[in-house]
């Protein structure tokens, strides 16, 4: 099993490297000259050229790439064009904020999704199943800003029970922060619920139809015991992988939700960096979320291997 983990890690690093290449060269396509963008249209060409030289953007692409990558490995993510300051503090602060929001969403949606999926599977074909399935599916594909707006209108404007802004202000208490984060978390919960519930449902149905479930029932075990002891541990295995891969959608969702609620998270940061052509910030941000995603999938793969006896141990004797 250790070899598997190492292999996965190796593959992940390769993918990471590919990612860095894609990010770097993709952002080179961004039109506009950084020096010009910073100094504005009225600046003298010589000043622009000097700044460009200082920023190092007039060197060959491969050299720039190499500088960037080696800098990254030393923890230097570059200097923001917009803020003229190192990128790291912005990124880390934004990351922390996003993690708070994402964590809240996950804490709500994972148990809810699993419960919904299992309940739907146990009521296969009946009303409860159809409602959960269709509702889950619909919730998943309604864009976050749409549900966000409806939520803002209902809870923020009409009923005025929850704060509309996501930021509680600096130094606010945990409870207050939580209160502010609820509205932005809900659209994320809605989108993720569908995926998780669908996976849990499919896994549970497969387990219910299996021969070993039949064996368990015909042993005379109570239904609740069969579900708890035999079904769940087999049905939830694939769900775990899904949860980790949801990080991708989650991050996309963060971009939307943070923009709508004007929350200083990493999604918002990337968006602003793209529109203001702040390449170092953009590249660093995109790379960071790529890393987060790959770590999540790695953990999911390893977890799946550990929990599945077939993969953990050898084959037939």
Partner 1 sequence: MTATETAAAGSVDDLAPTLLVEHLEVTHRVRGNDRRALRDVSFQIGRRESYGLVGESGSGKSTVALALTRYLPRNGRVTGGRISINGQDPLAMDAAALRAMRARTVSMVYQEPGKALNPSIRVGRQVAEVYEVAGLDRATAMDRSEAMLRTVQISDPGRVMGLYPHQISGGMAQRVVIAMALAAEPALLILDEPTTALDATVEAEVLDLVAALREDFATSVLFISHNLAVIAKMCDRVGVLYAGELLEEGPAQRVFEEPRHPYTVGLLRCIPRRGQRKDAGRLDTIPGFLPPPGHTLPGCVFAPRCPIAEERCREARPPAFPVGPGRSSRCYLHDATSDLPRNTPVDVELASSRDPAELVVVLQDLSTTFTHGGERVRALVGVNLGLERGETLGLVGESGSGKTTLAKALLGLTAPDKGSVVELDGAALAAQARRRPREQLKALQIVFQNPDSALNRRHTVRHLISRPLARLAGLSGARLRERLIDLVRSVRLEERHLSLRPSQLSGGLKQRVAIARAFGGGPRIVVCDEPTSALDVSVQAAILNLLADLQAKERVTYLFISHDLGVVRYLSDRIAVLYLGRIMELGPAETVFAGPHHPYTEALLSAVPSIDGQRADRIRLHGEIPSAASPPSGCVFHTRCPRRLPTGICETTEPPLAEVAPGHLMSCHIPIDQLTILQRTEQDGD
Partner 2 sequence: MTDVVAAPAAVVTVAHGRGELPGWRLLLRRPTFIAGAAILLFWVVCAVFGHIIAPQDPLAQQLLATNKAPSAAHWFGTDQLGRDVFSRVIVGARSILVISVFATLLGTVAGTALGLAMGYLGGVVDILAGRIVEAVLALPLLVVAFLFLVALGPSPLTIIIVIGFVFTPLIARTVRSAVLVERQQDYLASARLLGENRTYIMFVEILPNVLAAVLVEFTVRLGYAIFTVASLSFLGFGVQQPTPDWGADINANYGVLPAGYWWMTLFPALAIASLVIAINLVTDSIEQVLAS
316 binds, among partner 2, partner 1, none (CB under 5 to 8 A by kind): partner 1
Q: Which range, of 242-250, 257-265, 284-292, 303-311, touches partner 1 by CB under 8 A?
A: 303-311
Determine the Cα–Cα distance for residues 176 and 135; give it in Å rounded to an integer. Answer: 31
- Contact with partner 2 (CB under 8 A): which of 1, 18, 306, 307? 18
Q: Which CB sits closer to partner 1, 74 or 310? A: 310
161: part of which helix (H) or strand (E)? none
Using CB under 8 A, count the residues that bind partner 2.
Answer: 64
CB of 7 to partner 2, least distance (A): 13
Q: Does 244 bind partner 2 (CB under 8 A)?
A: no
Q: Which range, of 54-62, 70-78, 99-107, 284-292, touches partner 2 by CB under 8 A?
A: 284-292
CB of 167 to partner 2, least distance (A): 13
Q: Which CB sits closer to partner 1, 45 or 125? A: 125
CB of 146 to partner 2, least distance (A): 4
Q: Residue 283 is encoded by which pair of tokens?
A: 């590249």
Q: Which range, of 56-64, 68-76, 112-120, 133-141, touches partner 2 by CB under 8 A?
A: 133-141
H helical segments located in the chain: 2-28, 34-39, 45-55, 61-73, 88-122, 127-141, 144-151, 174-208, 211-218, 223-225, 232-260, 266-275, 279-307, 309-312
Angle subtended at Cα 144 by Cα 200 and Cα 248, rounded to the nearest 5 degrees: 55
* Helix, coil or strand: residue 79: strand
- Contact with partner 1 (CB under 8 A): which of 17, 66, 83, 212? 212
- Contact with partner 1 (CB under 8 A): which of 217, 274, 295, 299? 217
Contact positions with partner 1 (CB under 8 A) in 222-281: 222, 229-230, 233-234
Contact 9, 17 (CB under 8 A): no
Q: Is the dihedral of CA 59, 61, 66, 71 positive or negative?
A: positive
At which residue do the structure tokens 């709508």 appear?
260
Q: Does 313 bind partner 1 (CB under 8 A)?
A: yes
Q: Does 130 bind partner 1 (CB under 8 A)?
A: no
- Contact with partner 2 (CB under 8 A): which of 41, 275, 314, 317? 275
Dihedral-angle region of residue 244 (phi above 0 means left; psi in -120 to 50 means alpha; beta otherwise): alpha
Burial class (CB in 10 A: 0-12, 13-18, 19+), 245: middle
Residues in contact with partner 1 by CB under 8 A are 125, 210-212, 214-222, 229-230, 233-234, 308-310, 313-317
């Amino acid at each position: 099993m250790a070899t598997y983990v190492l292999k996965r890690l190796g593959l992940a690093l390769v993918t990471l490297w590919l990612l860095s290449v894609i990010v770097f060269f993709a952002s080179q396509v961004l039109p506009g000259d950084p020096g010009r963008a910073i100094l504005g249209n009225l600046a003298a060409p010589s000043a622009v050229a000097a700044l460009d030289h200082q920023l190092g953007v007039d060197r060959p692409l491969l050299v720039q790439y190499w500088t960037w990558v080696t800098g990254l490995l030393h923890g230097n993510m570059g200097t923001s064009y917009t803020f003229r300051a190192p990128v790291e503090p912005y990124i880390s602060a934004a990351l922390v904020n996003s993690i708070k929001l994402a964590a809240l969403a996950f804490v709500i949606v994972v148990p809810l999704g699993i419960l919904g999926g299992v309940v739907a599977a146990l009521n296969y074909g009946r009303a409860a199943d159809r409602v959960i399935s269709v509702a889950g599916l619909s919730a998943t594909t309604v864009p976050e800003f749409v549900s966000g707006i409806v939520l803002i209108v209902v809870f923020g404007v009409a009923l005025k029970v929850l704060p509309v802004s996501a930021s509680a202000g600096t130094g606010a208490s945990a409870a207050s922060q939580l209160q502010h984060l609820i509205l932005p978390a809900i659209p994320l919960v809605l989108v993720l619920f569908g995926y998780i519930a669908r996976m849990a449902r499919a896994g549970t149905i497969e387990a219910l139809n299996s021969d070993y479930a039949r064996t368990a029932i015909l042993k005379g075990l109570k239904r609740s015991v069969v579900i708890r002891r035999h079904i769940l541990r087999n049905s939830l295995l694939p769900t775990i992988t899904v949860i980790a891969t949801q990080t991708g959608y989650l991050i996309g969702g963060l971009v939307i939700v943070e923009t709508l609620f004007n929350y200083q998270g990493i999604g918002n940061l990337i968006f602003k960096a793209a529109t203001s052509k702040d390449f170092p910030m953009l590249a660093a941000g995109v790379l960071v979320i790529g890393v987060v995603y790959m770590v999540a999938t790695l953990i999911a793969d390893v977890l799946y291997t550990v929990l599945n006896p077939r993969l953990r141990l050898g084959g037939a004797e």
